[in-house]
Structure 1
């Protein structure tokens, strides 16, 4: 696990640490080609410089967000972004994380991507990469 991400996880409550650690280990396991780092104050994984998945602590719990998740057609990713193509799920307990679903979503994240890397250059216009 990336040292910065480990530090982020350690700053969470015990329960949230367990969720964050489980997510980080699973994402690292299933996205072996991804670069991970702290970006905008929370853990994010990138493929070819494009943000794919990340998580953050929010009031409802730990939010797992997929940048292109709105196009995954996954019922459980039901927190949709209003402006972009993101979709999320919140976790409040470690046993809520379904590793089989997480793997399926991460597989989709590899094949369904919008170009967030060049969003500023394109003045907010998103293009489909894959």
Structure 2
């Protein structure tokens, strides 16, 4: 686990820390080669500079978000809609995590990506990077 991610997790209450440690271990283990750092205040994993997955503490619990998750075709992920292609799930404790589903989502996160890295350069227009057809 990246030291910044460990520092993010450390002050959380014990149940949330256990949950976040589990998420970080699974993400690290199933997104080999991904860069992990705290970005905009929470842990995020990147592939070739493109944000893929991250988690944050919110009022409803710990939110696990996949930047391109709306296109995974997974009923366990909530798609908020809007102009971005993200999808997320909220957890309250480590026991809530369906590890098999999480691993499946992480596999899809590597295969299905929108190009968020160049979003600002394209003035907010998303383009497919991997596993997608242009709209």
Q: State the match for 2:67 in structure 1.
A: 67
Is 2:23 aligned against 1:19? Answer: no
User: Could you tell me the TM-score, scaled by structure 2's length?
Assistant: 0.94
SS in 2 for 1:29: helix
Is 2:45 aligned against 1:50? Answer: no
List per-residue Cα deviations over 1:10-68 (Å, max 9, x = no partner).
02111110110000000000001100000000000000000000000000000000000
Name structure 1 gaps, 5 residues minimum: none
Segment of structure 1 superposing worse, 41-50 or 80-89: 80-89
Misfit runs of 4+, over 4 Å? none
Q: What is the rounded CA distance, in whole Å, between the counterparts of 2:38 and 2:81 in structure 1?
A: 21
Q: What is the rounded CA distance, in whole Å, between the counterparts of 1:86 and 1:78 in structure 2?
A: 9
Name structure 2 gaps, 5 residues minimum: 131-135
Q: State the match for 2:88 in structure 1.
A: 88
Q: State the match for 1:116 in structure 2.
A: 116
Q: How many residue pairs were aligned?
A: 130
Is 2:24 aligned against 1:10? Answer: no
Q: What is the rounded CA distance, in whole Å, between the counterparts of 1:81 and 1:67 in structure 2?
A: 12
